[in-house]
Amino acid sequence: MKDTSRFIFFLTLIFSSSTLLFSQEIPFQKEVKSLTERIDQKGWKPNSFVFTGSSSVRLWRNLQEEFPTIPIINTGFGGSQASDLLIHLDELVIRYGPEKVFIYEGDNDISAGKEATQIMTDIDLLVNRILQKLPETTIVLISAKPSPSRWQLKTSYTVLNDLMRQYATTHNQVDFMNVWDVMLDKTGKPISEIFIADSLHMNEKGYAIWNKSVIPFMK
């Protein structure tokens, strides 16, 4: 009788654990599904330039207008970290077979308390997976931006940016796009008028700076 009770207990425990596991939603799953469906409905071309990463990319809405001769696919998804992009890399990057991939991750990662070295581990995994599937693709790592709302984390962001810069110089097919310096005023602080009210996301003036910064990489 005791053995039967134990068996039933363990069966219940296994069933409960399995139910909990499968009931947990993959981060950003719904947003990514909706995003890819919209892209498919609109239509896309192979050998495009894919821009992906967190909300600073998602809100970069005038990219195609600025570069009309280059097919661009924007798969930015708000609030994401490098580890989230790893989960959805096939849907957001690989499936399009892009000629170039621009990645903006690290901003939310630092804000969430991650160390720069931990973020670089995820970025290295991203780069290796992309090049494994798409060996002819070039990857552009976009530096973290300086924003007033996260200025207290300045040191962590500059460390991350330095690591990304070093990484790009020592890895083939990886470039580094520095948006940090051009977003600072003469006193070395973030230019306040290029941000919206939340002091985190950019307005049109901010994206004008990004549009100018990306030109050398749009060849």
Domain limits, the chain: 27-217
Cα Rg of the chain, angstroms:
20
Give 30's contacts (C-beta < 8 A, 6+ positions apart).
none
Splitting the chain (219 residues) into consecutive groups of 10 residues, what average pLDDT does each group show? Answer: 46 41 72 97 96 98 96 96 98 98 98 98 98 98 98 98 98 98 98 98 98 97
- The pTM assigned to this predicted structure is 0.89
Return the pLDDT at 25.
82
User: What is the model's pLDDT at position 77?
Assistant: 97
Q: Which helix (H) or strand (E) holds 52?
A: strand 49-53
Q: Class assignment of domain 27-217?
A: alpha beta
Cα(82)–Cα(125) distance, integer angstroms: 9
Give the DSSP per-residue string, 56-72. HHHT-TTHHHHSTTS-E
State phi, psi for 71 to the nearest 5 degrees. -70, 120
